[in-house]
Amino acid sequence: MKPEDEIQAVREGFAKGGYICDKQIATSIFLSRKLGKPILVEGPPGVGKTELAKATAEYLGQELIRLQCYEGVDEAKALYEWKYGKQLLYTQVLKEKLGDLMEGTVGLKQSMDRLHEFDDTFFSTEFLEPRPLLKALWSEKGAVLLIDEIDKSDDEFEAFLLELLSDYQISVPELGTIKAKSTPIVFLTSNNSREIGDALKRRCLHLYIPFPDSKLENDIIKARVPDVEEGLRKQLVAFVQGLRTLELKKHPSVSETIDWARTLVLLHAETLDAELVRDTLNVLLKFQDDIENVDGEINALTTQAQKASA
Amino acid sequence: MSEVLTEFIRALRAADVRVSISESIDAGRTVELVGFDNRQVLKHSLGQVLAKTEEEKLSFDETFDKFFAFDQFKPPPKREDGPGQAKDGEGEGEKSESGQDAPSDGEGGEEGGAPSMPGQSSGGDGGAPQGAQSGGKPGGGPVNEGDVRQAGPNAPGGQNLLEMLEAGDAAALQMALAEAARRTQLNRIRLFTQRGMYVRRILEEMGLETLDQAIETAEREGTEAGDARGQEIREMRDGLRAQVRDYVEQQLELYTANAGKRLREEVLSQVRLSNVDHRDAKVIRQLVKKMAKKLIALNSRRKKRTLRGQLDVRKTIRKNIEYDGLLFDIVWKSEKVDRPKVMAICDVSGSVAQYTRFLLMFLYSLSEVLPQVRAFAFSGRLGEVTDLFEKEGIEKAIAETMHVHGGGATDYGMALEDFADLALDDVDHHTTVIMLGDGRSNNANPRADILDKIHDRARRVIWLNPEPKSLWNTGDSVMRSFTPHCDRAQTCASLKDLERVVSELLRTAV
Ligand SMILES: Nc1ncnc2c1ncn2[C@@H]1O[C@H](COP(=O)(O)OP(=O)(O)O)[C@@H](O)[C@H]1O
Ligand SMILES: [Mg+2]
């Protein structure tokens, strides 16, 4: 199949699952699979970065494994932990059996050697609690690994990820090297709260998802809020698009447009008017400042939006 | 990795897109994967592999569009008539416009414009498409096609130029062009004066000779069909030449725009001002700012020299006489640097419209450097804009000046009268008066006598005329009556000229 056809197939597959995207986004899925490279997805909050990973998992029929990053996330939370509880329990059991076990050993040295044989047991995968990254490596059928909001983690963790993402393997001191059973598709998302390091960027494909244009946003609303009438849908999308041209602390994102559309449907609205907008504006704008600041523009924006459906 | 890709990465780097070795390897794999056929897929793919910030993506898109200008080679319309091919082409077009394509992509059309159907050009459905192109002259096509085939190998890659042209194989032509550009080192182009040379070399590289031969062969037949065929190839050749010229033009812009900001400045400063369009205004401003800074640096360097000046023996001895010749109080020679006092009068009338914006920008920056610049502007009547320049930002100041004084019909006589009223009393032997204008007075009395008065009082009068000297005194230009009252009158049509004038001004004005 030609690349453009494969890309189109991705788009159509996504659309079936309710994720509506442009060619740029579909291309990154195509490329990532062919080149075996992770995708770093950047863009403002709520434009569907996380959703993209979910949609990909669904489209490919693979498991979605998600690692939500936060300040201080570390290897133990991301890769694996030893099951101390289980280890402890086994030690208790072992203690009781100690007499039996040591039977026949002569002197401390021999006893120790005998004990050491159990090391391997304690530090075997039996006692390993896999966290998202290891789960992804272990996945038999291949998985979609979502490392969400990487910008919230620290540089150190980023450096650690770099090793993992360079050849999809990781070395665990007690176990040696663990290699991916089948290369996962990896998404890293960032809301740009900090710059992602160059090294990591070099290793990844880079996808920037901006706010959608009105055509795309209309399609998204159509897919996500099928109950909303076409006329109202065009108006509300036009209104949101208008809001995004204003100077605001936080622009409404796709997620807010969806919420707003749902709200308007609940209110049985058929068309947009200034009063309706004022009553529901807090669904779109999260800062009181913003709500107050746009108040003067609402009439104009609403009139403009009304024209969009005409 | 393909040479074209290497070249493209070079252009990207010049456009401030950082590309590491590993990324260029990824790019190579990407091109292997997606090929050059579909422009949009290529663009999206390489963009994700090579550009990793929002700014880099902007630069990338711009550079890509210039570098892979696939749409330069629009397939000739005849293709649509051809059986089979046309269908293929339509299929592509449909897809690109289908369904949910975001309109912001804006590339649906282009995608269709870059059909690359390998082998299409060698497709042998006889003279059918050719006949169509030669205006339906029967017989002409097939015979000559045979001739043409001899001129070059038919193998892909070494494809014959004429065949590619006839097939309208945009992708193949584009690759051939890019390859020829690489071999002629088009990436070294820096000056617009080099365009012609590169166009010629690239055409030769692409196989211009084979076209010329084909024309000759066809026309030597002496038949009507032969002549028609010759004419046909001639037209294709001219079309190709125009396309190559466009391409070279774009590349010039690409490399001058990107090959480091310094190079751009250097090149820009040689470009005649009239060629400097609106879009470049920003760059000019930076350049002028930098020039202004350089002027300041020049000034302060000269100042420093005075600090560690030489011993003034005469003055020192005279001063120390009272100490019986013991040298207590040492006097150093100091070279006093007076900053020149400047009055600048700028013509902002319609006839110099394309220069004024620039001249005013320059003037503005100049007045930032030299505290004693008084600025005046006029079309018909003249007004002082010094305060405006002092208080407002450059954009506003210029816009305001243009708004109040700009665009009208020139009347040098009236303007000079106004100037005399406003400022003649302040002109003294420290003052340099600069006239910026074309000296076209719309057949009104230029009042050169007032300029004469100004000249008498001023330290110097300099006239900078954006027109080349050959145009002075043509039409309504009355430079000849002004020049006797100027210490210097020169053409100032480029930044380089201006820079020279200004540094000279700073050096000589005492
Ligand atoms: N292109 C899209 N198609 C369908 N739904 C979308 C799209 N973009 C965003 N959404 C919806 O918007 C909401 C926010 O998306 P999310 O992926 O969490 O944003 P992000 O991760 O970029 O902050 C989700 O509920 C998602 O369903
Ligand atoms: Mg998210």
- Domain with residue A154: its CATH number is 3.40.50.300
Same domain, A16 and A43: yes
Same domain, A148 and A280: no
Give the ranges where chain A is alpha helix by DSSP (H): 3-16, 23-35, 49-60, 75-78, 84-102, 107-116, 119-122, 132-138, 155-167, 198-203, 214-224, 230-243, 254-266, 274-284, 288-294, 298-309
Q: Which residues contact B52 (CB under 8 A, 6 or more apart)?
A: A40, A201, A202, A204, A206, B18
pLDDT at B422 over 70: yes
Same domain, B111 and B246: yes
Residues B412, B414, B418, B423, CA torsion sign: positive
In a domain, B428, yes or no: yes
In a domain, B331, yes or no: yes
In a domain, B274, yes or no: no
Please list all protein residues whose beta carbon sits less than 5 angstroms from ligand 2, which is an ion: A 49-50
Which domain range does residue A148 map to? 3-78+131-208
Average pLDDT for chain B:
70
CB contact under 8 A, B102 and A215: yes
One-letter amino acid for residue B496 of the chain: K
CB contact under 8 A, A202 and B34: no
- Which of B407, B404, B388, B398 minimizes the C-alpha distance to B288? B398
Q: Is A179 helix (H, G, I), strand (E, B) or coil?
A: strand
CB contact under 8 A, B48 and A205: yes
Which domain range does residue B427 map to? 341-507
CB contact under 8 A, A212 and B57: no
What's the CATH code of the domain at B493? 3.40.50.410
- Which of B235, B113, B103 minimizes the C-alpha distance to B174? B113
Same domain, B295 and B325: yes
Bridge partner list, B346: B377, B436
Contact (Cβ atoms closer than 8 angstroms) between residue A65 and residue A136: yes
B66: confidence class by pLDDT, cuts 50, 70, 90: confident
CA–CA separation, B46 and B30 (whole Å)? 7
Same domain, A248 and A199: no
* Total residues belonging to chain B: 510
Contacts 24+ apart (CB under 8 A), B291-294: B291/B365, B291/B495, B291/B499, B291/B502, B292/B365, B292/B366, B292/B368, B292/B369
Same domain, A187 and A221: no
pTM over 0.95: no
pLDDT value at position B328?
A: 60
Mutate to test the pocket of ligand 1, among A47, A148, A189 (most ligand atoms within 8 A of CB): A47
**Smallest CA separation from ligand 1 atom 27, residue:** A51
Same domain, B127 and B199: yes
Q: Is A180 helix (H, G, I), strand (E, B) or coil?
A: coil
pLDDT value at position B273?
A: 37
Show the ligand 1 pocket: residues with CB < 6 angstroms.
A 18-21, 45-51, 189, 220, 223-224, 254-255, 258
Give ipTM to 2 decimals: 0.86
Contact (Cβ atoms closer than 8 angstroms) between residue A169 and residue A178: yes
Domain boundary among A192, A208, A224: A208
In a domain, B275, yes or no: no
pLDDT tens for B96-128 read 333 343 333 333 333 333 333 333 333 333 333
Note down pLDDT in tens along chain A; length 310 residues: 899 999 999 999 999 999 999 999 999 999 999 999 999 999 999 999 999 999 999 999 999 999 999 988 888 888 888 777 667 777 777 777 777 777 777 777 777 777 677 666 666 777 788 889 999 998 988 899 999 999 999 888 888 898 888 888 888 777 788 888 888 999 999 998 888 988 899 999 999 999 999 999 999 999 999 999 999 999 999 999 999 998 888 999 999 999 999 999 999 999 999 999 999 999 999 999 899 989 999 999 999 999 887 7
Mutate to test the pocket of ligand 1, among A51, A66, A209, A225 (most ligand atoms within 8 A of CB): A51
Paired tokens of B482: 């002004």
Taking the centre of ligand 2 as the mean of its atom positions, its distance from the CA of residue A48, in whole angstroms, is: 7
pLDDT at B364 over 80: no
**Number of structural domains chain B divides into:** 4
**Number of structural domains chain A divides into:** 3
> Residue B35: its chain A contacts at CB < 8 A?
3
Between B97 and B261, residue with greater pLDDT: B261
Same domain, A135 and A13: yes
Contact (Cβ atoms closer than 8 angstroms) between residue A225 and residue A265: yes
Same domain, A153 and A289: no
* Cβ neighbour number for residue A99 with a 10 Å cutoff: 8
B501: confidence class by pLDDT, cuts 50, 70, 90: low
pLDDT value at position A146?
A: 97
pLDDT tens for B69-103 read 655 555 444 433 434 333 333 333 333 333 343 33
